[in-house]
Structure 1
Amino acid sequence: MSDTTAAPRVAFISTLSPTAQTLTVASLSLAVLCLAILVFFTRRTSRSTGNLLLLVGPPDAGKTAILSTLAYNQTLPTHTSLQSNASAVAFSLTKKPSTVVDIPGHPRIRDQVNEYLADAKAIAFVVDASTVSRNGPVVAEHLHIILNALTSLPPSQALPALLILAHKSDLLKSGSAASATSESLAITRVKTILERELEKRRVSQSGGVGVEGLGEEGERTEMGGLECTGEKGMFSFDAWEGGEVTFLGTSVKVGRITTDEKAEADGLQALREWMEENA
């Protein structure tokens, strides 16, 4: 009796051993696979956090003047650019250089921004605050392209910080509001007009109507990037699902030369501080 009962026990133990080994090997393989995936996405994310600041926006908004002032402390007379320009900009506090790229705003070549997105740390969309009231649809079309490009980036890539510059704020009059500065007035005007025009584009798309007629060139009829949180879903920069949007009022004087000690006099000190914080 003892011999017949012992045999099944030996057979039972021999079948368990391979199963346990198989489970152990499978667990180790799964752990290695998870580690490989983690390293892969970590590397892609680290590569996406470059050091480029991209200046984008419609023609004649003042992008090239901003670049020359940041790089050379001198605002040079400029004309409509047909190719990208890049310059290194050093910061007074951190001494960490950053590369600023001025991307042309002409409708036929402004898609060059896609070539730099993978290495962009931040994007500054430049708007002429003195003319945005009459050019709102065109400016909103260009900004819509940028918003769509940002929200279309792969999830593994870190989103660049987005800054909207209400430029040429010095051309606005403060009016009767004594406490309002020209910079704050420029920001309010640019933000209000762009939100209104982008909401028109959002409604047109959601209703099945193409948005090409709302802008100058009509790039594409189906673009995302205007999704917002909230019950009503109306477009608002504060509720934009692509992340935080910062507004600054800026200005420069063509022909002015500034020293490091008087850099704030050129109207770009707020931009310099923002760049240094986001470098």
Structure 2
Amino acid sequence: VRPISFIFTTTLSSSRRTVFAGFVASVHHRRAHLWLLPCFSAAEEAKNEMENLEGLQILAEQWLHQGIEFVQQIPPPQLYAAIGVLLLTTVLFFSVRLFRRTKSNTVLLSGLSGSGKTVLFYQLRDGSSHQGAVTSMEPNEGTFVLHTEDTKKTKPVHLVDVPGHSRLRSKLEEYLPRAAAVVFVVDALEFLPNCRAASEYLYDILTNASVVKNKIPVLLCCNKTDKVTAHTKEFIRKQMEKEIEKLRASRSAVSTADIANDFTLGIEGEVFSFTHCLNKVTVADASGLTGETDQVQEFIREYVKP
């Protein structure tokens, strides 16, 4: 603007110079005003924010004062009871969260003596049958990664081989409350002579309080299916369902005073099926001697995540 005003002022008359000088001054004034506008707007915004914060502070103080007055009006017994309920709810909430984070990795191998539980245990541990293990009289347990898995990437399984002798089945009670799953092993080769006894044992497991309340999944493992004369898993499932149906009828007719079961099984008025159980019951084939344990391992890893 200054160079232009200089050129024009040298050629214009004095009166016109005065008018032009006033015009130039007004232009400079307007430019200066435009430069100051951002400063004024920023200051105005900061002022508005401060006013909003002060308003929120006043409102919070009012709410706090009203809350204190309300609490002071509550009788002490009711106030203490409310605080107690709040603390109890908080403790229960965090306890449940902690319990869910620490899921069990214990899997139980159960079944009658001679069904092949111990051989299956060794196959799952190191892939060897140990040339056919003898009947165990004490729980055989260990914590390890299944032999077909990568030890660096998977979670170890706490596997417990519970003795199948009738006098030693009480050992099962010690492990069931913390079990993630149960593998019930049945001898598919010598199934029919032992069908009744195996069904009674499985009935006791399925009606156990820990199994029902925790909905512990059970795998009906038909072992020794590599033999030609072994029964199929479908046949074994149907026969055991029939036997358990008979047990339901006979035990319901007897006084419950001498029955150790905690819960009834199945649906009243319907023929028993494993699908009626509150917990999941599945059936699988296996052979401890030949190492055919894929279905058992899949079942274990379904409930003990790697």
TM-score with structure 2 setting the length: 0.66
* Shift in alpha-carbon separation, 1:117–1:276, aligned structure 2, 3 A: same
Shift, 1:104, TM fit: 0.5
What pairs with 1:20-59 in structure 2 (closer than 5 Å)? 20=74, 22=76, 26-40=81-95, 49-59=103-113
Aligned residue number for residue 252 of structure 2: 206
Q: In structure 1, how many angstroms separate the alpha carbons of the residues matched to 2:218 and 2:293?
A: 17
Structure whose alpha-carbon radius of gyration is higher: 2
Q: In structure 2, how many angstroms separate the alpha carbons of the residues matched to 1:200 and 1:160?
A: 24
Percent identity among equivalent residues?
Answer: 25
Matched residue type, 2:297: R
Please state if 1:252 is matched with 2:302: no
Structure 2, gaps ≥5 residues long: 1-68
Q: In structure 1, how many angstroms separate the alpha carbons of the residues matched to 2:207 and 2:170?
A: 12
Q: In structure 2, how many angstroms separate the alpha carbons of the residues matched to 1:222 and 1:100?
A: 26
SS in 2 for 1:169: coil
Please state if 1:107 is matched with 2:163: no
Q: How many residues align?
A: 230
Shift, 1:225, TM fit: 4.1
Shift, 1:35, TM fit: 2.0
Aligned residue number for residue 190 of structure 1: 236
* Shift in alpha-carbon separation, 1:137–1:244, aligned structure 2, 3 A: same
What pairs with 1:7-18 in structure 2 (closer than 5 Å)? 18=72
What pairs with 1:141-220 in structure 2 (closer than 5 Å)? 141-149=200-208, 151-152=209-210, 155=213, 158-173=214-229, 186-208=232-254
Aligned residue number for residue 259 of structure 2: 221
* Shift in alpha-carbon separation, 1:152–1:89, aligned structure 2, 3 A: closer
* Shift in alpha-carbon separation, 1:130–1:154, aligned structure 2, 3 A: closer
SS in 2 for 1:124: strand
CA RMSD of aligned residues (A): 2.9
Q: In structure 2, how many angstroms separate the alpha carbons of the residues matched to 1:203 and 1:79?
A: 36
Matched residue type, 2:287: S
Q: In structure 2, how many angstroms separate the alpha carbons of the residues matched to 1:142 and 1:154?
A: 15
Are 1:226 and 1:235, in contact at CA under 8 Å, matched by a contact in 2?
A: no
Aligned residue number for residue 8 of structure 1: none
Aligned residue number for residue 176 of structure 1: none
Shift, 1:141, TM fit: 1.3
* Shift in alpha-carbon separation, 1:154–1:66, aligned structure 2, 3 A: closer
Higher helix share: 2
Shift, 1:88, TM fit: 2.9
Are 2:176 and 2:210, in contact at CA under 8 Å, matched by a contact in 1?
A: no
Q: In structure 2, how many angstroms separate the alpha carbons of the residues matched to 1:226 and 1:171?
A: 36
TM-score with structure 1 setting the length: 0.72
